[in-house]
Structure formats: C-alpha cells, structure tokens
C-alpha cells in the first residue's frame, strides 16, 4: 500500500551535518522524497506540531522540552512516499529512546542519550529525528508542514518494476 509520511531532521541532526546520511537511508530503502524543505521553526508553529495530546500522553515538561528543542535551529522537513512508508520509516529511524534503538537505525547510530540521563540533566532527549507514528499523524503532519504545491509526484525506477 502506497502511503506518505513525515520525517523531520531536528536541529541537532542539521547542526551535526547528518542530513545527507539520513536522507540516503530512506532513498536506499526505495522511499521517494515527494517534498523537502528547510525551516526555522518558531514556538507557535512548534505548538501546532507538538500538540496538547503530547502533554496528556507524556507530560507537560516533556512537551516543553520538545518545543524548545525543535526551535534551537533549522529543521529539514521531508515528505516520503512508498509502500508501507510509515512502518518502514519508523523501522529505519529506530525507537524514541536513542540508548535503546538498535544499531543500524538512525537513532541507534547517531544518538545515544537515555531518558534517565535527559531527565537527570533536565534536557530533551536529542534523538535527531521525528517520524510520524501512524496514518492519522502522518496526514496531519504533512498538511501542517507542506502545502499542496510543495508536494510532487513522479516515477522512480522502482515504479517501473512494481
């Protein structure tokens, strides 16, 4: 099933020059970039991304840390398309806690901080990247980050053989 999902390379990933390495993982897996841009997010926009339900699920402190983290620097927003894109992107990205993310995943290879360490230091878990969690989130997030003119359809070599 073809679907779209959102990936954000967070400020630390941009600042550490990991953008190309991260993008290549998605392209190597056969996912198609249908939208991409660099954005410097302000707090009001960040609140639209990290909505109140984050606070309900994970606490207001965590939401505030996420809001502050995403506005630290530029973010690369990417809309990806492919077969089971949401599930496949989440596998490539790895678990939310970098310490627990397996080697070979983006978080497992490029981040290492645990929830416990971040809590002790009162800092956000800098896990490099965001990926939509499910179809509902993907649709909401893509619409938030991209307008229709910024999303493009085209055929890749895989399309000719599928």
- For 12, list phi and psi in degrees, rounded to 5: -65, -40
What residue has token string 């302000």? 42
Catalytic residue among 17, 130, 140, 152: 130
DSSP result, 30-78: T-EEEEEEEEE--HHHHHHHS-HHHHHHH-HHHHHHHHHHHTSSEEEEE
The DSSP element (H or E) to which 23 belongs, if any, is helix 19-28
> Is 130 an active-site residue?
yes
The residues assigned a catalytic role are 130
């Amino acid at each position: 099933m073809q679907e779209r999902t959102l990936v954000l390379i967070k400020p630390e990933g941009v600042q550490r020059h990991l953008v190309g390495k991260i993008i290549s993982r998605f392209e190597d897996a056969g996912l198609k970039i249908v939208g991409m841009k660099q954005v410097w997010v302000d707090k009001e926009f960040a609140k639209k991304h990290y909505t109140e339900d984050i606070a309900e699920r994970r606490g207001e402190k965590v939401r505030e840390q996420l809001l502050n983290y995403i506005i630290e620097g530029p973010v690369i927003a990417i809309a990806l398309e492919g077969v089971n894109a949401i599930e496949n992107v989440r596998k490539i990205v790895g678990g939310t806690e970098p310490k627990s993310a397996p080697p070979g995943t983006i978080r497992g290879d490029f981040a290492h901080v645990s929830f416990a360490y971040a809590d002790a230091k009162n800092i956000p878990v800098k896990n490099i990247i965001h990926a939509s969690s499910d179809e509902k989130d993907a649709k909401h997030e893509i619409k938030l980050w991209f307008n229709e003119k910024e999303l493009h359809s085209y055929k890749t070599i895989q399309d000719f053989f599928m």
